[in-house]
A and B are shown apart, each in its own frame.
Chain A
Amino acid sequence: MTSYLDATVPSRSEHLWRYTPWSRVHPSSVDTIPNVDAAVIKSEDFEFTNKAFEPLPASDIARIFLNEIIQETTVIACDNKEGHIHINAGGHAVAAHLHIACNTASSIIIHLHGEADWFGLALTGDINANAQLSVGVINELSSDSVMVRVDDWFLHRDARFELATLSMGGHRNKSDIRSTLKGSNASLKQFIAVHGHGTRHDDHHIEIHHQQPHTNSHLLLNAACDDRSHSIGTGALTIDDIAQHTDAGQIFRNLLLSPSSRAEAIPELEVLANEVAAAHGAASAPINEEQLHYLMSRGLSKEEATSMIVEGFLIDSFSGLDSDLVREAIQTRLTVHLECQLIG
């Protein structure tokens, strides 16, 4: 296993670290490995066991670093169950590794909260043959927190996987979410909604790798950026030469709400098979004045009208979710968050 202190700190010329350098999301100085506590994981709906940490595929600096600091892996027993998991990140620096192996069907909502200065989260999972898994991740960390999240999901034959992320907490967030469609006829749907406010910096890198024929993937990222926030969405979709009859699509949409907000969208495609349908789209625009005018003419203030449009835009990210539980939980948290923002 590569040692962190022997690894080269990536430069900004590397695609993955172009907009959020590793030094800005490391808990202290990049040439150190600080003491990191374990985050508290609780659930009334699932049972879990802790075992010795299973190292992540050490392909990048964030995973190499997490391999050094995480001590144990929490394995969720999820088959035929649905419910919530709460990860409380408190203290200076904390980290957690959750592993989910799904063999039947399950829906899981993972809530991230707490006031940790730095939080490192590794999510891994195997969606085994014929299994069906929906996972929702809601980031409600305190406004001062920095988070590094890495995901590694493996979809096996005929697996169905939905992964929804609502990102609205924390000060700086770097998420590197990777999914591999390892079995034929596997299907992945991924939805991400980002609400940027204050000086929030939210960077999502999504890699989807089609390794087998007849696999499908769909990615939708909607980011609404207010104040001086900055959202980055980079996608890397790879279709191997044997992955014929693949259907893959990526959409990145940005709604810019203030003159100082910024957004980046980089949806990349690498296609090595010819019998495929692969597409991506990206769009960025200010709030629609007609929609604003319509709502204000019905008595809403400009702030209320804007908040309503943002809510509609972000909720739309999750309309394709099959799991009612995950969709409703996310929508509720989003509505509460926007109302809190509105009343200050």
Chain B
Amino acid sequence: MTQDAQDAVGDYKYGFHDPESATIRFDKGLNEKVVRDISELKGEPEWMTDIRVKAYHHFMEREMPTWGNCDSLAGINFDNVTYFLRSSDKTEKDWDDVPEDIKRTFDRLGIPEAEQKWLGGVTAQYESEAVYHSIREDLEEQGVLFLDMDSGLKEHPEIVKKYFGTVVPHTDNKFSALNTAVWSGGSFIYVPKGVHVEMPVQAYFRINAKNMGQFERTLIIADEGSSIHYVEGCTAPTYSTDSLHSAVVELIAMEGAKIRYSTVQNWSANVYNLVTKRGVAHKNATVEWVDGNIGSKLTMKYPAVLLKGEGAHAEVISVAYAGEGQHQDAGAKVHHLAPNTTSNILSKSISKNGGRSSYRGMLQVTPKAAGCRSKVVCDALMLDEDSRSDTYPTMEIGNSTADLEHEASVSKVSGDQLFYLMSRGHTEEEAMGMIVNGFFEPFTRELPMEYAVELNRLLELEMEGSIG
């Protein structure tokens, strides 16, 4: 990277970009023709085209959310977004076959290396579609389906038709309608009964082009007694104009199954990250969201779990880091719909250099959910006087036997802790970095080790220059 480019990128090490090389690029702006063209280009069945068109009309009619950061949301110009950009003609199974410039990007992000070492499968999405996809042979032999979503629809239309939009319907919110209308890429996973996928599978999402919209759609189904850990990472170049990332993720954990979905979102500070993530847990199933939000201009993301079956469990661990010009509006939603269901939510946020972090949560217990238990903990650290931290939790309790707790606190870094570390020879900056890493430790310990190390390094980078 040249010095000029380095200056423009600043501390954000993924802020580089490659020359755009599109094989197909739609004009900016959204209309019904764009939606139909995406569907036609992909050779989709008619029912999917119909869903897309319905969702498009709903998107056009639906008002913008009236909560969260309305001022920032108002800055999105939907007419200035490219809704589809194909950068490679097909999804490769070998890194050597991936176009050179795209491969270089993923090499710099360390994806091929990670795959060899510790992953069960990888999907790499560049702009609108997956450019690389692979799965370990032993998993394939056990019947595990791990495909990019477009291939999933082509090869297993009956499964996609059965589950698509059942957890997040297009009428859910404005951005789920947008995603349903123009979705492209994402992951499709089916884990057969009783199969445990021991190594995590990973998807990596990269936006390279300016004013790009990425609308991936992920559907994960874990059949009875199975388990899977899915990890996703996200980066984008630093541009002066904004990009839009609006994904929908649907998880379905059948009886006794377990799905863990880990995200480390490190979009550049010009990306709107407006994502709907929701899982359904049937009897004795577990859905876990491990959600890290480090980058983006505005994130509005509230991973949700519907505890539909008796004994189901939800776990949400979420961290957010809001630096200069950033607003991380994150949180969690858990709906206890069946008896003896349990949930834990842990949210941690840090605001620095005028950043704003918000926790927005919903904990609902319906009248049928007897004997359920839940605990919510939100901690926020404020690193300077220009920053802001908000907490907007909602508890709706419709069953008298529910046992629920919620606690939240906002504070600054303890002077005692700083003094202790500095008295052992650390500079104030190092001490602050260590305290921040420690604050996020309940999150990082749940990540695969390589991710945890990377996250700690990222945080240290973010903390540089935070003192004085």
Contacts and interface: CB of A to CB of B under 8 A. Distances in A.
Pairing of A with B? yes
A263 B403 CA distance: 12
A284 B383 contact: no
Nearest to B398: A262
B385 interface: yes
Nearest to A259: B400
B400 A256 contact: yes
A286 B371 CA distance: 10
Contacts of B389: 269, 271
Nearest to A237: B391
Nearest to B411: A277
B209 to A, nearest CB: 36
B348 interface: no
Interface residues of B, number: 34
Interface in A246-278: 254, 256-278
B332 interface: no
Contacts of B392: 266, 268
A316 interface: no
A286 B400 contact: yes
A282 interface: yes
Given A280-B407, A281-B406, A286 B382 contact: no
Contacts of A282: 393, 395, 404-407
Contacts of A261: 400
A283 interface: yes
Contacts of A277: 409-411
B408 A265 contact: no
A1 interface: no
B437 interface: no
A192 to B, nearest CB: 16
A283 B365 CA distance: 13
A88 interface: no
A280 B391 contact: yes
Contacts of A5: none
A279 interface: yes
Contact of B390 (A241, A268, A275): A268
B410 A269 contact: yes
A265 B406 contact: yes
> Which interface residue of B66, B367, B389, B400 has the most chain A CB atoms within 10 A?
B400
B402 A284 contact: yes
A254 B66 CA distance: 29
A13 interface: yes
> Which interface residue of B382, B388, B396, B410 has the most chain A CB atoms within 10 A?
B410
A256 B385 contact: no
Contacts of A273: 382, 385
B80 interface: no
A274 B406 contact: no
Contacts of A285: 402-404
A106 interface: no
Interface residues of A, number: 36
A265 B391 contact: no
Contact of B397 (A241, A262, A274): A262
Contacts of A258: 400
A268 B403 contact: no
B385 A274 contact: yes
A222 interface: no
Contacts of B405: 281-283
Given A277-B411, A282-B393, A271 B398 contact: no
Contacts of B49: none
B383 A280 contact: no
A84 B298 CA distance: 53
B397 A271 contact: no
A262 B367 CA distance: 9
Contacts of A264: 394-397
Given A278-B410, A279-B407, A286 B401 contact: yes
A244 interface: yes
Contacts of A259: 367, 399-401
A283 B404 contact: yes
A256 B392 CA distance: 23
B397 A286 contact: no
Given A244-B385, A272-B388, A256 B410 contact: no
A225 B400 CA distance: 9
Contact of A263 (B385, B387, B397, B401): B397
B25 interface: no
Contacts of B382: 271, 273-274, 276
A256 B367 contact: no
Nearest to A257: B400
A326 B159 CA distance: 66
17 contacts: A13-B66, A241-B386, A254-B397, A256-B400, A264-B394, A265-B395, A266-B393, A266-B394, A269-B410, A270-B388, A271-B380, A271-B382, A271-B390, A274-B382, A276-B410, A280-B406, A284-B404
The 9 closest A-B pairs by CB, nearest first: A256-B400, A274-B382, A282-B406, A279-B409, A269-B391, A278-B410, A281-B407, A284-B404, A265-B395
